Structure 1
């Protein structure tokens, strides 16, 4: 199977140049880029961005540049459209992957073993559409969340009439939230499938194998940069 990596990051961010801010002396995107580079299962490496500084930093890590059209560099751009554009450019280069690892440039919380495990999940089970890192989150369980009614009062997201829901989080079904560090796609069953996938990340398809991790976060503030450095040091991540 052809397995490729696609690093994604745009230049128009609230935190200026966040994808290339220094983290332990390297640009932030260096860490997801090199985590994928260290996975022997991946043979091709590409970066998609509208920002030349991001493209150059990724090129230093051995990633081939894909320049996005302007509309895919806007805050309203959807990841699905970015992936589709990148795949079309990769095809021109003679690369048509079966499995695509989509890396997000603003998260350094990535381990090579997670990436390899996600790929192996898809290889070992051809019916899967994706394999992604998730965290167990019980405090902010959807059963405990509220929406705002038109009258300004709170209400449940679900119709619980006739049901009794425990107030104890340990009694509730396990709730997982997706991490935003990388997503590994079996393109035949996800992006290229005629079946509609799970919203809002419909491009992941419907058969998504989780990789349960203890911690994940992406960078939105300067404080997140310091948290990333601490995580990398605690986990002895270096390349």
Structure 2
């Protein structure tokens, strides 16, 4: 089975300048995701898709193959799906190989290891899925939503104030791991579709780096959970 990994990494980040290559636990941020993918027993090739030459240079230094992303799909309003479809098309064109599965990893979600990736792939294959995404358990959270300025409880009845263990099961998409068949994203223009499954991760792996405050939080968990050592072994 030909399984590849694609890591989209746009150069123009507003909240944190150069976010994908900031120093994070002693390496460029994107390097952690590249090395996690390279450590997988299933993934054949790892590709970084970017419009930024510095990101591409650093990614190659850490063992990734490169996809130069056109500027017209690297704008603020561009979607990850556009980058993924472009990358898949370029890989198929350049390698003349059929891609069976795509593992999509976000370079701004460093709180994972190679075992997470392989366990997610195992789940995908075992459950005969078309797409899969990683989640964290939200059962410890009492979730509310605001509809037209009216607050509604989502996963519990606030009038009865249930025990936490009795609250309805809810999952949060944590953005760490996505797996899909190429035909799914081409048909639905979405990474999720068909027979959908999930891979449950530890609750602290819900954190990702979107703004400066997230950096310290993720570095804390990288160190206290020994992920720095695990990902370097």
List per-residue Cα deviations over 1:86-132 (Å, max 9, x = no partner): 00110122143211111111121111111001111222232x12232
Distance in 2 (alpha carbons) for counterparts of 1:174 and 1:165? 18
Aligned residue number for residue 119 of structure 1: 121
Give the CA deviation at 1:164: 9.6
Give the CA deviation at 1:155: 5.0
Aligned residue number for residue 78 of structure 2: 77
Q: TM-score, normalised by structure 1?
A: 0.83
Aligned residue number for residue 180 of structure 2: 185
Aligned residue number for residue 231 of structure 1: 221
Aligned residue number for residue 18 of structure 1: 19
Residues 74 and 125 of structure 1: is their aligned pair in 2 closer, same or farther, counting only changes over 3 Å?
same
Q: Is the CA contact (8 Å cut-off) linking 2:131 and 2:191 kept in structure 1?
A: no
Count of paired positions: 222
Alignment of 1:206-217 (within 5 A): 206-216=195-205, 217=207
Distance in 1 (alpha carbons) for counterparts of 2:27 and 2:138? 31
List per-residue Cα deviations over 1:14-53 (Å, max 9, x = no partner): 2100110001220011111111111121111111011111
**Higher helix proportion (structure 1 or 2):** 2
Give the CA deviation at 1:157: 9.0
Alignment of 1:118-197 (within 5 A): 118-126=120-128, 128-138=129-139, 144-147=144-147, 149=148, 153-156=149-152, 166-168=160-162, 170-188=165-183, 190-192=184-186, 194=187
Q: Identify unmatched segments of 5+ residues in structure 2.
A: none
Give the CA deviation at 1:141: 5.2
Q: TM-score, normalised by structure 2?
A: 0.85
Q: Is the CA contact (8 Å cut-off) linking 1:131 and 1:211 kept in structure 2?
A: no
CA RMSD in angstroms, aligned pairs only: 2.4
Q: Is the CA contact (8 Å cut-off) linking 1:122 and 1:186 kept in structure 2?
A: no
Aligned residue number for residue 6 of structure 2: 6
Q: Identify unmatched segments of 5+ residues in structure 1.
A: none
